[in-house]
Structure 1
Amino acid sequence: MPKRSRKPCSYPGCPELTEERYCPHHKAKEARRYDQQRGSVAKRGYDARWRKARLMFLRRNPLCVECMKQGKVSPATVVDHIVPHIGDMVLFWDVDNWQALCVSCHNRKTAEKDGRWCRSNLFRK
């Protein structure tokens, strides 16, 4: 398979050519900046209260809903927000917005919806 054409790094003022969005030097820098903007897990609502609610939800919904749609049976280990809450705590705690997924299905959904850097969260305020 042919390689992608190289283009300038997206970091302002960087002349490096890369096949990805950022050159290796700025890729790590952008990842750290994104993590700082995003806030800690607890600040985003995933605290002890969430862990307890998550366990209760998974006990009542032990199978992955996406796998079941495909006729497969897989244990659910992730409680996913169907509509991303993006900091909206009312939507965060809306049980009707939760679904039980296996890790594989959750990762696939997240990659399709948000891309590698969770763009939906980066640019919404």
Structure 2
Amino acid sequence: MPRLKTLGSRLSTQGERLTVIGPDSWRATKATAHQRGYGYKWQKAREGWLRHHPLCAYCEREGRVTEATVVDHIKAHRGDMALFWNRSNWMSLCATCHSSVKQREENAQRRGQ
């Protein structure tokens, strides 16, 4: 029976696709979600925002109607509480767009593209 080729060379190239979080990154802190601002006050604000902005902004742009479940910060606040609570920096997204399209945009910005 022939031996399978190893995937070693393919695995080593995956590192460049991964996002490395630096030690000074807001996401790298050991603070809880509540400590980062996502406590009861945020949950109430989020609920109100979604009630008034119920559709995903990215899906709407593409002509689709999708229920939004996430309130996203357009510009990453990185711990800046003034920016965190600035409602002009909020947009409604569906979970799919938040986890895919938005993440690709943020990763491209970090790479300077």
* TM-score normalized with structure 2 length: 0.71
What is the letter of the counterpart of residue 57 of structure 1?
W
Preserved CA contact (<8 Å) 1:63 1:73: yes
Query: What is residue 36 of structure 2 aligned with on the other side?
Result: 44
Cα displacement (A) at 1:39: 1.9
Across the aligned residues of Structure 1 and Structure 2, the Cα RMSD in angstroms comes to 3.2
Identity in percent: 42
Secondary structure of 2:99's match?
Answer: helix
- Residue 110 of structure 1: how far off its partner (Å): 2.0
Q: How big is each residue's C-alpha offset from its partner over 1:63-118, in whole Å with a ceiling of 9 and x where there is no partner?
A: 00110110000000000000000000000000000000000111121243148xxx
* Structure 2 match to 1:91: 83
Q: Is residue 68 of structure 1 aligned with residue 60 of structure 2?
A: yes
Match of 1:86, SS state, is coil
Unpaired stretches in structure 1, ≥5 consecutive residues? 7-16, 22-29, 121-125
Tell me how far 1:38 sits from its aligned partner: 4.5
TM-score by length of 1: 0.65
Unaligned runs of 5+ in 2: 1-6
Alpha-carbon offset, residue 37 of structure 1: 2.4
Shift of 1:19: 4.2
Q: Which has the higher contact order (CA 8 A, sep 6+)?
A: 2
Partner SS for 1:71: coil
> How many residue pairs get matched?
98
